[in-house]
A and B are shown apart, each in its own frame.
Chain A
Amino acid sequence: MNRRTLLATVTMAATLAFGGAAFAQDKLKACWVYVGPVGDGGWTYQHDQGRLAVIEAFGDKVDASTFQENVPEGADAERVLTQMALSGCKIIFTTSFGYMDATNAVAAKFPDVKFEHATGFKRDYPNVSTYNARFYEGRAVMGTIAGRMTKSNKIGYIGSFPIPEVIQGINASFIHAKKVNPDVTMSVVWAYTWFDPAKEADSAKALIEQGVDVILQHTDSTAPLAEAAKTPGVIGFGQASDMSEYKPSPRVSSIIDNWAPYYVERVGALLDGTYTQKDTWAGIAGGEVQIGEITDAVPAEVKAEAEALAASIAAGTYHPFTGPLNKQDGTPWLADGVVATDADFGGMDFYLEGIVGDIPK
């Protein structure tokens, strides 16, 4: 190769490279920020499945290849978001409650970039939308199975942080377990983490030692199921993701967060110009909350009962929080036949009647 052909090759390569870059600019760039690793098998994994669904739905029109794992909630999140906005992301999904302030702070600086914050409630700027799923609907179904399946009449709940979303889950599970099994009691252990397998395993172990034989978890790893697998007769549920590697027992069912329809809808809206700021809170009916396959470890009539409950919630004929319901101290919360409103949920900082223990402040 002489010098002339070499130069020609270099020029051609450069043209191709820059041409390619220019072409990439035409694509809509969508980016994701994750609180855990994609391989957590739970929360973050499901968000990443949603991202992959966007790639599948739009192909060449969208560049959804950018995501950042293990981003701490706090100052680091703000740096990551700023970096993404500067690198040409047009829509950024921030997928943990703790990114709320960082999302709004960065959104103020980049009015042309759309921000989508999961499970939050702050929309300080017109370019911030929020989305959430009605996990408590799924919890009601899990609670029904738990109440029917427990032999010791003790069920356990591994809580992450004492925030309304988690307390809704505890209350929904308990009242539905109690409905089918009046003798049931519930122990709650607060792990103070979303993802710490060692701590989650220890919490599950402590619950099992207390005689608990059904474990519900609000933390994201599969460690509690791995711990339950060590003791015959103890069952649990997949959280956020199907966790199907623990089928058919201890994982007898699961509550799956399905973000794909929402992500496809929002990116699609941005593509065709119909995008508006909004607050989305869908549940079983909207497909955001799915009940994972109920395995054969559960008797057929219990399975049918759980599926019927899920169907009635989806159809809107039944609301998991329907009065009469009292607070833990016995004061009335909902009168007979009254259903909880979304405002009630946002401020839920109390246990319902029958749960023992205090919520940490």
Chain B
Amino acid sequence: MFGSIDPSLLIASLMVASVPILLAAIGELVVEKAGVLNLGVEGMMIMGAVCGFVTAVETGNPYLGFVGGAVGAAALALIFALLTQYLLTNQVATGLALTLFGLGLSSLIGQGYVGIKPPMTGAVPFGPLADLPFFGRVLFGHDWVVYFSVAVIAAVAYVLKVTRAGLILRAVGESHDAAHALGYKVTRIRVLAILFGGAMAGVGGAYLSLIRVPQWTDGITAGAGWIALAIVVFASWKPWRVLLGAYLFGGITVLQLNLQAAGSGIPVEYLSMAPYLITILVLVVMSSGKGRASLNAPAALGQNFHASR
């Protein structure tokens, strides 16, 4: 059944397929570690996709496109930050509204850009390394965003675990009152975390419209933002597990198409639902062990903070 599927190709393409959800999930992880629940990941991703696409097409430079995507999505995240951090609106409702707003706004911005080819982003030239058997294809044949996404995971893991800034961020997420009493600017730190989350979601979205597809069309993210949210819980708020979760989801998505193309006897309907089914299954297993996953959640997650209390 798996006979004609080349494992090195499969691993290489699952790394590519996972990049958007990986970036969006690691951004959201930082946001949630700071105690903010932003359900608008989908909206920020699609804003990143359209802003990145427009920037790349207008400037002719794919790298600027990614910067544009990050800025566009961070601008949308700023709206969320203003509403929830200064006007103290409900985070769940605001996040959902942000998704709906982002989907509509991106469609409006993208009106004149449907059916255009963006400038191409090539693979990073590794020279002879790319010709290595197996490893050459798996490790050295990708575009720069694939490496960037792994580097972001490593950086976030390092900052959260080792540095003082990470400690402060976690303190804000665990108990904003205690952090405030110690003199940390809770609101400012949270706004910065939200902006980082937006920028990462934006780069993930821009990856879809600039490299993976590459094209702009309404609703291009097709639910990837929601998967990213699930992966943060799946990873029980640990950066390296985000990588694992994203690669697992991306891997099953790619595998199911490969199985179809290879002519396996498994009915298409089961293959199509497999990625979602397995994500739900793992989530259930993870959170079943006497609330272990939920114990790991930041204690102040989703709670608004005001200094007067």
Please determine whether A223 and B218 come into contact, CB atoms closer than 8 angstroms.
no
Please determine whether A206 and B261 come into contact, CB atoms closer than 8 angstroms.
yes
B90 interfacial contact with A, CB 8 Å: no
Contact code string B1-42 (vs A, CB < 8 Å = 1, else 0): 000111001100100010000000000000000000000000
Please determine whether B263 and A356 come into contact, CB atoms closer than 8 angstroms.
yes
Q: A45-B115, A189-B261, A190-B260 are in contact. Are A210 and B4 (CB under 8 A)?
A: yes
Write the nearest CB–CB distance from B115 to chain A, whole angstroms: 4
A221 interfacial contact with B, CB 8 Å: yes
Bound CA–CA A188/B208 (angstroms):
24
Stretch among A135-143, A197-205, A248-256 lining the B interface: A197-205
Question: Which B251-281 residues sit within 8 Å CB-CB of chain A?
Answer: 253-254, 257-258, 260-263, 265, 267-269, 272
Write the nearest CB–CB distance from B17 to chain A, whole angstroms: 7
Stretch among A36-44, A271-279, A302-310 lining the B interface: A36-44
Please determine whether B260 and A189 come into contact, CB atoms closer than 8 angstroms.
yes
B215 interfacial contact with A, CB 8 Å: yes
B214 interfacial contact with A, CB 8 Å: yes
B191 interfacial contact with A, CB 8 Å: no
Write the nearest CB–CB distance from A199 to chain B, whole angstroms: 7
B213 interfacial contact with A, CB 8 Å: yes
Q: A39-B115, A196-B222, A197-B220 are in contact. Are A210 and B213 (CB under 8 A)?
A: no
Q: A206-B260, A210-B262 are in contact. Are A40 and B213 (CB under 8 A)?
A: no
Question: Which A305-361 residues sit within 8 Å CB-CB of chain B?
Answer: 356-358, 360
Q: A198-B222, A205-B13 are in contact. Are A212 and B261 (CB under 8 A)?
A: yes
Question: Which A161-208 residues sit within 8 Å CB-CB of chain B?
Answer: 187-190, 192, 195-199, 201-203, 205-207
A245 interfacial contact with B, CB 8 Å: yes
Please determine whether A223 and B215 come into contact, CB atoms closer than 8 angstroms.
yes
Nearest residue in B to A189 (C-beta to C-beta)?
A: B260
Q: A201-B212, A221-B215 are in contact. Are A187 and B261 (CB under 8 A)?
A: yes
Q: Please, which residues of chain A bring their CB within 8 A of the CB of B258?
A: 206, 209-210
Question: Which A235-260 residues sit within 8 Å CB-CB of chain B?
Answer: 245
Write the nearest CB–CB distance from A76 to chain B, whole angstroms: 14
Write the nearest CB–CB distance from B157 to chain A, whole angstroms: 28
Q: Please, which residues of chain A bring their CB within 8 A of the CB of B114?
A: 37-41
Write the nearest CB–CB distance from A189 to chain B, whole angstroms: 5
Please determine whether B215 and A197 come into contact, CB atoms closer than 8 angstroms.
yes
B117 interfacial contact with A, CB 8 Å: yes
Q: A190-B260, A197-B213, A223-B215 are in contact. Are A209 and B220 (CB under 8 A)?
A: no
Write the nearest CB–CB distance from A234 to chain B, whole angstroms: 13
Please determine whether B17 and A202 come into contact, CB atoms closer than 8 angstroms.
yes
Write the nearest CB–CB distance from B63 to chain A, whole angstroms: 19
Please determine whether B261 and A40 come into contact, CB atoms closer than 8 angstroms.
no
A222 interfacial contact with B, CB 8 Å: yes
| Among A189, A211, A222, A245, contact of B257 (Cβ-Cβ < 8 Å) | A189
Interface of B toward A, CB cutoff 8 Å: 4-6, 9-10, 13, 17, 113-115, 117, 208, 212-215, 217-218, 220, 222, 253-254, 257-258, 260-263, 265, 267-269, 272
Other contacts beyond A187-B260, A187-B261, A226-B213: 16, CB < 8 A: A38-B114, A39-B114, A40-B115, A40-B217, A190-B260, A198-B212, A198-B222, A202-B17, A205-B254, A206-B254, A209-B5, A210-B258, A221-B215, A221-B217, A223-B213, A223-B215
9 contacts between A and B (CB under 8 A): A197-B215, A198-B208, A203-B261, A205-B13, A205-B254, A209-B6, A209-B13, A221-B217, A226-B213
